[in-house]
Chains A and B, each alone.
Chain A
């Protein structure tokens, strides 16, 4: 009972704070933390679902009216949560380390960007952009194209062992990026580094503004993805993936069709990224190859690792933490440092105004990802929210050493 009151109070208090200080990063973090608290604390399931539902469906859009940037952050978190959930299938469940995951995101994004903008006229002669309503059709086209790309990548690399597979997927991701960068000739398919713009936005019912509309759309897709993930986890194929992750030979001996299971893992993971790619391109209006670099792939991997490989709540929490770190904490730190610099503050006799201009804390995403990956691997390989089965498995690794260390 006390917990239930505390949960309601936490959400209510943090929302009030956001309402009072709409520009403070700290209170928005408090709002996110209150949601996390609601999720982990032991309260009746109906209350938890209700609170989270109200917070995400009603409070978040209201916060968006007070400060539009927070809604943008929430939308980005949703996009990355879907990506992390997709990668979670490939890395977490099937145990195939995919370092080029963002390629599928790119494939989805370009599939809508090309036909949803006047750009396609250069290829097909005329009749473009397609009517905005086609966007909803292309959610499925993006899904299919990405899934097919996933299978195409999967086919040649089936026989490779884990670490080689990782490097080859990395190469594949780079290949897709280089292609996107250079396919402006002989046929102008992607418009090269200049990117494609303006990309059409979908028609929205009831005259909802675009920022809210995309937020709800992303929320809906994330909900579907979570549902699919949960159903997959305990399905026949989900069990097969986990068996394969633990021991390929044993799984094969038990009758798991390895080729089919691996291809399905790639296709499932890729399809989520494909859908989100379509949404992303419409939301951004403009895309170019810079959005689909190796850095993004590792960012998504860091989300999965942070939350816990194979864990659904983990992927969502990981996506939230990493996105908020990048979009808010690093940027906030940058702004704060600049303010201190301009105010001429001195720390321990050192004037901050003397700090080099090239020092931009907002640019250190890689350091964040790097620290997350190394620290998690050394101290908590099962992640913050470990999957139950994974937790048990990793708890035993020290008892079965694979190499003798004197």
Chain B
């Protein structure tokens, strides 16, 4: 076995894992916040995430065709695109909750889940329909901004591109502001109160419906930002791209302890690292018998194992009513 190679690629794999991890963490926030408040898996979150990516690519493409993309400072473009993605996805999440989940809030718990699966499929094809009509293509490529491709060589085996730094910085900023919002503001207190006990919260004068909408807005916005960052990092998107990352982000949320915001971050990072290492090393360690294609199996096995042996996740928010 080529040990020099194994050690040589280590830093790069580590970086890839961290990037992937932040991506999962941002998406996982949407799942975990909604689960924390409603104990409901928002299956359509993967499409809310990819919707952000599509809004981002549409803005970038129109800026490009108007000739503005090269002229505006790249930071302005970046912030504009991320904010637009957040707003669009947040509003979409609120709409979905209003239309497809709220009427089912008192129904047996599998009913809203099935509805969410329906929404997920419906949104995939709505995006496809729209892009087919509008651009006559639904596999879209993010236009490159030249700055993003600049690479800093840290060591002989590791270089970091600006796009990766952007992803990491943006993700850290958002995770931090969400943390402040939930733990240090009045709104955050209300969200936590509703998550704790809806009846008691409403008796304390909290408008539960509004807080639930707000939770979807924030979770959706995080998903939308993740969508734009995903597009910037991996560049190729189509309406069905969101599904697998969504599933893995859910895994990350469960891994960290669903309903628990720091847990989603931790779970995302752990899963991202595991997956990056599995993808790079599995083929090397087994002499090519099992390749990187098995990384999905790896992620799902993590989900199954964690649900069986530690269903409350690494950071252990106790989920009520677990049978």
Taken together as a complex, chains A and B put the C-alpha atoms of A405 and B208 apart, in Å, by 7
Q: Tell me whether A166 and B110 are in contact in the complex, defined as CB-CB below 8 angstroms, given that A174-B296, A370-B119, A405-B105 are known contacts.
A: yes
Pairwise interchain contact B307-A356, C-beta atoms closer than 8 A: no
Give Cα distance in the complex from A178 to B128, angstroms. Answer: 25
Chain A residue contacts of B208, Cβ below 8 A: 405-406
Q: Which residues of A contact B243 (CB under 8 A)?
A: 294
Q: Are B126 and A367 in contact (CB under 8 A)?
A: yes
Q: Take A167-B250, A359-B129 as given contacts and tell me if A378 and B100 are in contact as well, using a CB distance cutoff of 8 Å.
A: yes
Q: How many A-B residue pairs have CB under 8 A?
A: 164
Q: How far is the CA of A162 from the CA of B208 in the complex (A)?
A: 25
Is A357 at the interface (CB under 8 A from chain B)?
yes
Residue A392, interface by CB 8 Å: no
B120 touches A178 (CB 8 A): no
Known contacts A370-B123, A374-B119; 10 further A-B pairs (Cβ under 8 A):
A171-B304, A175-B301, A298-B121, A301-B114, A358-B138, A366-B125, A370-B119, A374-B115, A377-B107, A378-B103
Stretch touching chain B among A35-43, A332-340, A395-403: A395-403
A186 within 8 A of B: yes
Name the 10 nearest CB pairs between A and B, nearest first: A373-B118, A370-B122, A171-B300, A370-B121, A367-B125, A356-B136, A374-B118, A377-B115, A406-B202, A186-B289
Q: Are B123 and A166 in contact (CB under 8 A)?
A: no
On chain B, the residues within 8 Å of A167 by CB distance are 41, 247, 250, 303
Q: Does A381 reach chain B (CB closer than 8 Å)?
A: yes
CB B204 to nearest CB in A, in angstroms, measures 11
Residues of A within 8 A of B109 (CB): 162-163
Contacting A404 at CB < 8 Å: which of B40, B198, B301? B198
CB of B137 within 8 A of chain A?
Answer: yes
Nearest A residue to B138 via CB reads A358
Interface size for B (C-beta < 8 A) is 63
A95 in the interface, Cβ–Cβ < 8 Å? Answer: yes
Closest beta carbon of chain B to A106's beta carbon, Å: 15
Considering only residues 292-323 of chain B, those with a C-beta below 8 Å from chain A are 293-294, 296-297, 300-301, 303-304, 307-308, 311, 321-323
Select which of A95, A358, A369 is within 8 A of B110 by beta carbon. A95
Contacts of B106 in A (CB 8 A): 397-398, 401-403, 405
CB of A171 within 8 A of CB of B247, answer yes
Of residues 107 through 144 on chain B, the ones whose CB sits less than 8 Å from some CB of chain A are 107-115, 117-126, 128-129, 132-133, 135-138
Q: Which of A95, A364, A398 contacts B125 (CB 8 A)?
A: A364
CB-nearest residue of chain B relative to A295?
Answer: B121
Residue of A355, A374, A378, A402 ringed by the most chain B CB atoms within 10 A: A374
Please state if A377 and B122 are interface contacts (CB–CB under 8 Å). no
| B181 to A: closest C-beta gap in Å | 23
Task: Flag whether B62 is at the interface (Cβ < 8 A).
Answer: no
Inside 8 A of A168's CB, which chain B residues have their CB? 303-304, 307
B209 at the binding interface (Cβ < 8 Å): yes
* B291 lies within 8 A of A356 (CB): no
Q: Which chain A residue shows the least CB distance to B113?
A: A163
CB contacts (< 8 Å) of B138 on chain A: these are 358
Q: A157, A179, A370, A402 — which one has the most chain B CB atoms within 10 A of its CB?
A: A370
Is B174's beta carbon under 8 Å from chain A?
no
When C-beta atoms are compared, the residue in chain A nearest to B100 turns out to be A374
Q: Which residues of A contact B110 (CB under 8 A)?
A: 95, 97, 162-163, 166
Q: Is B150 an interface residue (CB 8 A)?
A: no
Name A403's contact: one of B105, B135, B300 (CB within 8 Å). B105
C-alpha gap A277/B54 in the complex (Å): 38
Question: CB-CB contacts of A96-120 with B at 8 A, as 1s and 0s?
Answer: 0101000000000000000000000
Provide a sorted-by-A list of 9 A–B residue pairs whose CB atoms are within 8 angstroms. Answer: A163-B40, A163-B113, A182-B291, A182-B293, A366-B122, A370-B118, A374-B100, A374-B122, A377-B107
Residue contact B114 to A181, C-beta cutoff 8 Å: no
Interface core residue of B103, B114, B115, B311 (most chain A CB under 10 Å): B114
Distance (whole angstroms) from the CB of B249 to the closest CB of chain A: 12
Beta-carbon contact of B202 and A373 below 8 Å = no
- A298 to B240 CA separation, bound complex (whole angstroms): 15
Q: How far is the CB of A242 from chain B (nearest CB, A)?
A: 14
User: Which residue in chain B gives the minimum CB-CB distance to A162?
Assistant: B110
Taking each of A97, A167, A181, A186, which has the highest tally of chain B beta carbons within 10 Å of its own beta carbon? A167
A389 interfacial contact with B, CB 8 Å:
no
Asked if A159 is at the interface (CB within 8 A of a chain B CB), the reply is yes
Name the residue on B nearest A177 (C-beta): B296
| Partner among B108, B113, B124 whose Cβ is within 8 Å of the Cβ of A366 | B124
A165-200 vs B: 1/0 string, CB under 8 Å? 011101110110011011001100000000000000
With CB as the reference atom, state the residue of chain A lying closest to B35.
A163
Indicate which residue in A156, A166, A357, A405 contacts B113 across the interface (CB closer than 8 Å). Answer: A166
Task: Tell me if A366 and B121 are in contact (CB < 8 A).
Answer: yes
Chain B residues with Cβ under 8 A from A366's Cβ? 121-122, 124-125
B146: min CB distance to chain A, Å: 30
Question: Do the beta carbons of B132 and A373 come within 8 Å of each other?
Answer: no
Q: Which residue of A lies closest to B38 (CB)?
A: A403
- Contact B122–A367 (Cβ < 8 Å): yes
CB <8 Å contact, A406 and B209: yes
Return B206 CB to nearest CB of chain A, in Å.
9
Q: Give the one of B112, B243, B323 with max A CB within 10 A.
A: B323
CB neighbors of B among A59-101 (8 A): 95, 97, 99
B180 is an interface residue with CB less than 8 A from chain A: no
Cα–Cα distance between A356 and B129 once the two chains are bound (Å)? 10
Interface residues of A in 248-265 (CB under 8 A from B): 248-249
A178 adjacent to B297 (CB under 8 Å): yes
Which chain B positions have C-beta within 8 A of A232?
none
- Asked if A378 contacts B202 (CB within 8 A), the reply is no
What 0/1 readout, one digit per residue, does chain A (346-380) give for beta carbons within 8 Å of chain B?
00000000011111100110110111111101100
Q: A360: nearest residue on chain B (CB-CB)? A: B132
B243-257 CB mask vs A (1 if < 8 Å, else 0) is 100010011001000
- Contact partners of A97 in chain B: CB under 8 A: 110, 113-114
Tell me if B104 and A369 are in contact (CB < 8 A).
Answer: no
Instruction: Flag if A373 contacts B129 (CB, 8 Å).
Output: no
Assess the B108–A161 pair: CB atoms within 8 A. Answer: no
What string of 1s and 0s marks CB contacts (under 8 Å) between B57-93 and chain A?
0000000000000000000000000000000000000
When chains A and B are docked, how far (Å) is the Cα of A403 from the Cα of B195?
12
The answer for the CA separation of A179 and B290 in the assembled complex, in Å, is 11
Find the A residue at minimum CB distance from B305: A156
A305 at the interface (CB under 8 A from B): yes
Contact between A404 and B199, CB atoms less than 8 A apart = yes
